[in-house]
Amino acid sequence: MNRAAGSVGGFLLKTKLFWGLAVLYGAGIILSPVNRRGENIFLDPGNQSDVLRQVANNGIIAVGMTLVILTGGIDLSVGSMMSLGCMLCAMLLTLPGWTTASTSSIPILGVVAVLLCSYLVPLVATNVRRGSAKPVEQATSRIRLIGLVVGLVVGALLVWWMTTQLPSKFGVLGVLITVPAVGLALGAFNGLVIAKGKLQPFIVTLAMMVAIVGLARLLGGETAAVYPVYTGSNATENFEMLRTLVLHVIPVPGIFFLVAILIFGFVLKYSAFGRYIYAIGGNEHAARLAGIQVDQIKVAVYAISGMLASLAGVLYTSQYRQGKPDAGAGGELDAIAAVVIGGTNLMGGKGTMTGTFVGVLIFGFLTNILLLKNINSNIQFVLKGAIILAAVLLQEGQVGLWWKRFRARTKKVSTGESRRDEVLQDHR
């Protein structure tokens, strides 16, 4: 009986995050205003799909942030990375020919393709033959050469393809490949400096955050700070694709978000790469001594974070029909908040992608409810801050401890407070 109660309590405690989301959702239904036809606005499919659209950008960034935080690091440059992605995307879509955007991003795309292939091909090749208990063999120089050749071919093809698009401006596929590649490169640079320079991730990414905002502004030039994107007139029609609703309810950015959650959730939970991420966050020394290439993993994690952030930039451009150099301002903090609400420990080594998913949704629904209730936007900030604090306190289990301590203290007063004072007096 008692044990059953305990296990139920344990289950509730384990899934408290979901209960939090459920309570918030319930509150949303109850607090929601009702429209003229007597329908609950909060539950309206249009509203629900809006929430998914609104959380998509923050969610995609939070996915990368989860990986980074799990290694015990932090990535403050994602907001700026999103701004840069947004600007790049808008410029590539609306300006034909060799502009600052295309001259900077196409070569980067080529280099990223070459490096990525010459890293991934040997990795896959040595992994296909695995599964035996044989000690890990290093990739032979032949496999490495094949990787390099594949990389050069892929890189050349991509660069050629993008260049042919230049006279008539980029299409949707073009920006979806080029922009994340730039983010990947910048993220990898973050990781390289952190891993090889043995610097604090906070400082490195803070510096990058400042620098990348500058880059995004430089890119646009002095004259036009904001690039409007009118699909069908100054940009290609097919970019509209990113604004559509699949099955009339699911917005495309939401699909990007869900797919990112699924892919990286799977990677975290089931792949060797995921295990290494947890191990590095749990104890970097031990991971290094176990022969894990800690530096490589770190570079990969920051690269993924940068890639996802600039992808969020592309989605921003599609939603707001403009490229803005401050599109992602503050985005890093929202993402960190969502990850932390999701129960991921900022020290690293503890946390899940499911948690981040719920954290992002909690954040999104909260914003939505406050909007529907027409609450002053400044009060919204205060409320959000309070909710973050409360969520984290609950996550860390401190509140339960306070309660226990409080009970212990109140119990004591009756029995021995006076005698204790006596002894202490005696000692002075």
Partner 1 sequence: MSGSSSLPIPMSSLDLASQPTQPFALEMRQISKSFGPTQVLRDVDFQLRAGEVHAVMGENGAGKSTLMKIAAGLIEEFDGQILVRGHPVHLTSPRDATRAGIAMIHQELSLVPELGVDENIFLGQEKLQSLFFVDRKSQVKAAEEVLKTLDFHGPLQLPVSKLRVGEQQLVEIAKALVSKARILIMDEATSALSINETERLFYVIRRLAAEGVAIVYISHRMEEVSALAHTVTVLRDGRHIGTVPAKGANRKDLIRMMVGREIQEMLAQDKSMTTTAKPMLEVRNLSLEHPTPTPSRPRLVQDISFTVGAGEVFGLGGLLGAGRTEIIQVLYGLHPGTSEGEIFVEGEPVQILSPLQAKAHGLALVTEDRKRDGLVLGAGIDRNISLPVMRTLTQLGIVLPGREKALARSMIEKLNIHARDSGQPTGSLSGGNQQKVVVAKCLVTKPKVFLLDEPTRGIDVGAKAEIYRLIRDLADQGLAMVLVSSELPELMLLSDRIMVLREGRPTALLDRAEFSQETILEYASPGGAVQPEFLTLEAAL
Contact 297, 68 (CB under 8 A): no
Q: How far is CA 240 from the centre of its chain?
A: 24
Among the listed residues 110, 183, 331, 349, the single contact to partner 1 using CB under 8 A: 349
CB closer to partner 1 out of 378 and 414? 414
CB closer to partner 1 out of 76 and 116? 116
Among the listed residues 289, 386, 390, 393, the single contact to partner 1 using CB under 8 A: 289
Among the listed residues 16, 144, 217, 288, the single contact to partner 1 using CB under 8 A: 288
The least distance separating partner 1 from the CB of residue 197, rounded to whole angstroms, comes to: 16
Among the listed residues 35, 127, 164, 238, the single contact to partner 1 using CB under 8 A: 127
Residue 266 has φ and ψ, to the nearest 5°, of: -65, -45
Among the listed residues 18, 31, 34, 130, the single contact to partner 1 using CB under 8 A: 130
The least distance separating partner 1 from the CB of residue 367, rounded to whole angstroms, comes to: 33
3-state secondary structure 106-165: HHHHHHHHHHHHHHHHHHHHHHHCCCCCCCCCCCCHHHHHHHHHHHHHHHHHHHHHHHHH
Contact 398, 20 (CB under 8 A): no
Among the listed residues 142, 196, 373, 412, the single contact to partner 1 using CB under 8 A: 412
Nearest one of 46, 41, 19 to 31, comparing CA atoms: 41
Q: Is there binding between residue 124 and partner 1 (CB under 8 A)?
A: yes
Cα torsion 382, 383, 388, 391: sign: positive
Among the listed residues 16, 275, 321, 384, the single contact to partner 1 using CB under 8 A: 275
The Cβ of residue 278 has, within 10 Å, a number of other Cβ atoms equal to 18
Element (H, E) at 265: helix 252-270
Contact 366, 384 (CB under 8 A): yes
Among the listed residues 29, 218, 404, 406, the single contact to partner 1 using CB under 8 A: 404
Q: Is there binding between residue 5 and partner 1 (CB under 8 A)?
A: no
Q: Is there binding between residue 196 and partner 1 (CB under 8 A)?
A: no
Subset of residues 133 to 172 that bind partner 1, contact rule: CB under 8 A: 133-136, 138
Please state, in angstroms and rounded to a whole number, the distance separating the CA atoms of residues 316 and 295. Answer: 32
Q: Which residues of this protein are in contact with partner 1, per CB under 8 A?
A: 124, 127-128, 130-136, 138, 270-273, 275-276, 278-279, 282-283, 285-293, 349-350, 404-405, 408-409, 412, 416, 419-420, 422-424, 426-427
